[in-house]
Amino acid sequence: MLLRRVIEHVREQNWIAIGIDFVIVVVGVYLGIQVSNWNAERETRQRGAEFSQRLRADLKEEGWLYQFMIEYYSDVLAAAERSVDALTGKAPLSNHDLLVNAYRASQYRHGARRRSTYDELVSTGSLGLIKDQKLAGVAARTYRITTLENLVRESLESLYRQAFRMSIPNDVQRALARHCGDRPLKLGDYEGIADVQGYPCTLELPQDAIDAAATSLRSDPMMIRLLRLRIADLETRLGDLTSNNRDVFEGLRDIAMEGR
């Protein structure tokens, strides 16, 4: 309809009307572009807000996992130190307590990383949608370091873990797992972290079975050397988590504490 009017005005040489039509066309195009831009910006802001919310939720879970792994492996380290002190005579333990600590020194735990949102942002080139620079920075540092994975892998593949399991009879190992093993813990349960491993326990085994298993540990000179290696490895990784990557630790802690 507008085109027909323009043609008629040209035929009539009505230049004022042609100018008005031209202005109408320009303004219409401009408004159309602006509306399109506004819609695009609104959609971008909405996507950014949704990604930020998802990323923050992932990092809260990462913060809990980070805290759990520090406290859990600190307990493992303490058990390893008590074990080596007992075997060297520095701080003697009963056969029962030696078995419990030596067993706990061999343990490991892992947790599933919550990185799906960050990986999606990276793969789609959408990191710029996260306007909160602190949030984006904590995420980048958290998902770039591999300390947690290294800690779990080294614990699983620990030579001490292998030696302990080869030295102790399987029925004793089953009793240790049943009565002194890691307690289950729900994601996000901060209060329960301290009770996962370091709780008091009693093996329901005959004393001669306990004594025989402890004697096997005490008579193997390699146990002391492997425990020392285990301690050194744990101290290195815990140092990475709490000192070398302290900015990650503090950033995750701040995010995890939001709303608590």
Distance CA 29, CA 32 (A): 5
- Nearest partner of 10 among 20, 22, 18, 1, judged by Cα: 18
Task: Pull the structure tokens for residue 11.
Answer: 């035929």
User: What is the structure's pLDDT at 20?
Assistant: 63
Q: Helices then strands (H, E): number in the chain?
A: 11, 0
Rg (CA), the chain: 32
Which tens digit of pLDDT belongs to each residue from 86-98?
999 999 999 999 9
User: What is the structure's pLDDT at 48?
Assistant: 82
Q: Is the pLDDT of residue 32 over 70?
A: no
Domain ranges of the chain: 2-257
Angular region, 183: left φ>0, alpha ψ -120 to 50, beta rest: beta
Residue 218 — very low, low, confident or very high, per pLDDT cuts 50/70/90?
A: very high
Residue 22 — very low, low, confident or very high, per pLDDT cuts 50/70/90?
A: low
Quick one: 260 exposed, middle or buried, by C-beta within 10 A (0-12, 13-18, 19+)? exposed
Q: Is the pLDDT of residue 210 over 70?
A: yes
Distance CA 14, CA 243 (A): 80
Quick one: 115 exposed, middle or buried, by C-beta within 10 A (0-12, 13-18, 19+)? middle
